[in-house]
Structure 1
Amino acid sequence: MNAYIHARISVKKRGGIIEDYLGIHDFMDCTKEMCSDNRHRILHTLWGIRRVVVPVFGATITNSDGKIVSVKDLCEQDHILPDYQNRFIPTLADFAAALTPHEEDEQLLQAFIKSYEGDADMCELMLSPLSNTGLLRSLYFTHNSWFVNEIVPKVLGRKPEIRDFSIAPSVFFNRMDFKLWMDNGSGIPPSAGKTAGKVVE
């Protein structure tokens, strides 16, 4: 489903015009630049909404009809749920669990952490996947050239870093297994297994 279709869903539910919502829906799918299949949907999580989308767009927008719209509700109800047949919203831990851990993870990530360890706001944002999932490998979602140069400037107002990066998004997408639940809700992710009443693969 593309951003325009999601924006049409928003118009039907919330009024206004396509352009009121297109920017948010397009941003939700910006990760397609790095991974062309449905593994790209790391922002299609409550972590992605809370830590990235809402800080960029604000908690609410006002549409062309003058109606105040919750950005969180818009992302959940008009984008993520339709992408998964209205069955579930995956967690960041679901995506992290699909990553194959490697022996060099800790060394590689610790070296990245040293570049910002004296910056409290940066630490909170960058380490939030670990707090959220408990999995060291989840830090790859923030510790990469895309997050530092595309997301951090929008969320924290920092300048992009012009340098060679030790971690690119391809590092984690190349080792992320494609799970059935990622295929537009064809399966159930681990986080939704009990609530969906189905056996998780």
Structure 2
Amino acid sequence: MNAVVHSQISVKRRGGVIEDYLPIHDFMDSTKELCSDNRHRILHTLWGIRRVIVPIFGHTIINSDGKAVNVKDLCEQDHILPDYQNKFIPTLADFANAIKAEPVNNLDFEAFAKVYKQDAALSELLLSPLNNTGIKASLLITHNSWFINDIVPRILKHKPEIKDFTIKPSDLFDNMSFRLWMDNGSDYPASSKLTASAIVG
């Protein structure tokens, strides 16, 4: 499902025109630049909404009809749920659990983070995947050149850094296994297994 189709869903539910919603839906799928399959959907989580989408676009937008639209609801109801057949919203831990821990253990997250330790807001943002999941490998989501040079400038207004980075987005996706639930909801992730069992039962 592409950003235009998601925007059409938003128009049907919330009024306005496609252009009101296209920037958000397009941005949510911008991670396709990093990974061409559905492993790219790391922003399709409540962590992604709370930590990235809302700080960039705000809690609400005003559509062409003059109506206030809740950005969190828009992301959940018009983008994430349709991508997973309206079955579930994955957690960041679902993605983190798909990352192979052994090769990631050789990456020096502490050295990467040390560069930014004087900036409390940035340090907290960089550590938020670990705080959210308890999984060290989840730091690959924020400790890389994409997050520092694309996401951080949008959220914290920092300037991009022109340098070689020790950790790259490819380190995240090269070490993330494809899981069946990522395939448009063909299965349920671990976070939704109990809910799925209750529905079936």
TM-score over 0.5 (shorter chain): yes
Q: Where in structure 2 are the equivalents of 1:24-43 lying within 5 Å?
A: 24-43=24-43
The residue identity in structure 1 corresponding to 2:27 is F
Aligned-pair distance for 1:105? 2.5
Question: Matched residues in 2 for 1:196 and 1:156: separation?
Answer: 38
Gaps of 5+ in 1: none
Question: Matched residues in 1 for 2:85 and 2:18: separation?
Answer: 22
Question: Matched residues in 2 for 1:38 and 1:28: separation?
Answer: 12
Contact 1:144 1:169 in 2 (8 A): yes
Question: Matched residues in 2 for 1:104 and 1:61: separation?
Answer: 38
Could you report, residue by residue, the CA deviation over 1:42-69 in whole angstroms, capped at 9, with x for unpaired residues? 0000000000000000000000001100
Query: Matched residue pairs, number?
Result: 198
Could you list the runs of 4 or more consecutive aligned residues of structure 1 that deviate by over 6 angstroms after TM superposition?
A: none
Gaps of 5+ in 2: none
Could you report, residue by residue, the CA deviation over 1:153-201 in whole angstroms, capped at 9, with x for unpaired residues? 0000000011000111101101111000000000000100111117xxx
Contact 1:106 1:136 in 2 (8 A): no
CA root-mean-square deviation: 1.1
Cα separation, partners in 2 of 1:56 and 1:104, compared to 1, 3 Å: closer
Cα separation, partners in 2 of 1:8 and 1:103, compared to 1, 3 Å: closer
Question: Matched residues in 2 for 1:116 and 1:136: separation?
Answer: 18
- Under a length normalisation based on structure 2, what TM-score does the superposition of the two structures give? 0.96
Contact 1:92 1:132 in 2 (8 A): yes
Contact 1:152 1:158 in 2 (8 A): yes
- Under a length normalisation based on structure 1, what TM-score does the superposition of the two structures give? 0.96
3-state SS of the aligned residue for 1:39?
helix
Q: Percent identity?
A: 67
Structure 1 match to 2:179: 179
The residue identity in structure 2 corresponding to 1:157 is K
Question: Matched residues in 2 for 1:191 and 1:97: separation?
Answer: 11
Q: Where in structure 2 are the equivalents of 1:17-166 lying within 5 Å?
A: 17-102=17-102, 105=105, 108-166=108-166
Contact 1:144 1:165 in 2 (8 A): yes
Aligned-pair distance for 1:103? 5.4
